Structure 1
């Protein structure tokens, strides 16, 4: 959902309460900085409620006289979604195949079985009676781990440059819009001369690849909570596919592994953990 289209009434009461718990801590950290410009990242797994939380925080800051702007990191992959999805699958499958060859498991029989699974989109699905498939998936997962959320997949440099420009007091930012097709990529010029707070809403907003964030907020959830929320939003046509579930698990592990970098952590029940 575009943050321009959100109203407070669109958001669940639980999320509003979570924002009300979170805001005083964020405000305190921004005040402690004693700087004119502050960048706040709101990150976490897909479906955790980042967009709604960013909007609520913006609303709360503006009630206190602080002008803010939300930007989405989802506009900064190196490839449009269709090509990025294909890249993920290609890396998973090629690494899986190479793994079978490395382990000397690749036979004509397995070749035929694997081709059928791939054509049906089921090669990421766990099958207890196929030990060779678990080897294929283990190698595929390694390739996904090496790609997902890294600078191979995402344009961290472009976002870091935006944050640095904001800190330096630039009057305008050129913000990228990336749609789902190659001819739907353009830039929007935004006036930030009197903007106090920049809110970066993005799954990877707590990444070590990213530079320029002052207050890092991570919203955490279990993979089951994430998948359930994505289903409610009907965000993805392959939402419950084994491959998407695999991607979500790997992304969630990376988010959890980086929690020591976060300033504030909040779970979906509103519990808060700070450094």
Structure 2
């Protein structure tokens, strides 16, 4: 039973991370773990175990966690570390990338965002970003609910950046206890099935600086990209009240009130 596995971790101490650990299932995704990611994961994990125990005490044997936040905040890295810690401790987990579930491949989705903005302005873009028009929330909700219902084999989407890089793969979840969804929209109101949302905080300014440092899309300084990040940050903020764990950029656990004051002070 899940509760028995959790209780075995009552005296948990962070294990040393090997050079390479499993990460999310986005094709071509690169995870570069640094000391900041490890610090945050080590702060999150004891609290996560408490929340998992609460879920197990409710009779749940399969639990869905999401690690969400703005672009460049470390979702992939921290989700990978948490997943490694759980599996290493006897609670097998799988990390799913929500970035596999837009309705269009990245190139076409970027073009659609721009088309919507040019035709309908910022209001139209706000209506599109993070909505069912952009993302197949029904598919990811079905995965989460099927997992919790104990489905053994679940078909998962794989999406690269080119038109021929799109396929599905059946994954065996028969002995998996925890599904971790790492995704900007992981805490969205547009789908159900998440038990423990974890929010990694970043301000729009911090997000943009991160993207500039990574040169992620070659247009990080454009007014349009800045606007997209601001809109996404607004969505994340509006959903933050549902998060069970909120972590600051400095690696501190925040209450929702503390998070709200911090965001107001940095806006």
Relative to the length of structure 1, the TM-score reads 0.79
| Offset at residue 66 of structure 1 (A) | 0.7
Residue 230 (structure 1) aligns with:
211
Q: Work out whether 1:50 is the aligned partner of 2:72.
A: no
- Measured against aligned partners, the alpha-carbon deviations of 1:41-88 in whole angstroms (never above 9, x if no partner) come to 001111111000100101111221111000001010111111111111
Residue 241 (structure 1) aligns with:
222
- Measured against aligned partners, the alpha-carbon deviations of 1:197-220 in whole angstroms (never above 9, x if no partner) come to 100000000000121000001111
Does the residue aligned with 2:151 lie in a helix, a strand or coil?
coil
Name the CA distance, whole Å, in 2 between partners of 1:71 and 1:51.
10
**Aligned-CA RMSD value:** 1.6
Q: Work out whether 1:259 is the aligned partner of 2:262.
A: no
| Offset at residue 274 of structure 1 (A) | 4.3
Larger Rg: 1
Residue 138 (structure 2) aligns with:
157
Name the CA distance, whole Å, in 1 between partners of 2:167 and 2:99.
14
Name the CA distance, whole Å, in 2 between partners of 1:61 and 1:149.
29
* Aligned counterpart for 1:11 among listed residues 16, 28, 33: 33
Residue 196 (structure 1) aligns with:
177
Larger RCO, structures 1/2 (Cα 8 Å, 6+ apart): 1
Name the CA distance, whole Å, in 1 between partners of 2:160 and 2:185.
19
Residue 173 (structure 1) aligns with:
154
- 1:16–1:150: structure 2 CA closer, same or farther, 3 Å change rule? same
Does the residue aligned with 2:68 lie in a helix, a strand or coil?
strand
Does the residue aligned with 2:199 lie in a helix, a strand or coil?
strand
5+ residue gaps, structure 2, are: 1-21, 257-267
Is the CA contact (8 Å cut-off) linking 1:263 and 1:274 kept in structure 2?
Answer: no
Name the CA distance, whole Å, in 1 between partners of 2:150 and 2:213.
40
Name the CA distance, whole Å, in 1 between partners of 2:30 and 2:122.
36
Relative to the length of structure 2, the TM-score reads 0.82
Residue 212 (structure 1) aligns with:
193
Residue 51 (structure 2) aligns with:
29
| Offset at residue 266 of structure 1 (A) | 0.8
Is the CA contact (8 Å cut-off) linking 1:6 and 1:55 kept in structure 2?
Answer: no
Alignment of 1:4-153 (within 5 A): 10-34=32-56, 35-95=60-120, 140-153=121-134
Does the residue aligned with 1:3 lie in a helix, a strand or coil?
coil
| Offset at residue 178 of structure 1 (A) | 1.2
- 1:193–1:81: structure 2 CA closer, same or farther, 3 Å change rule? same
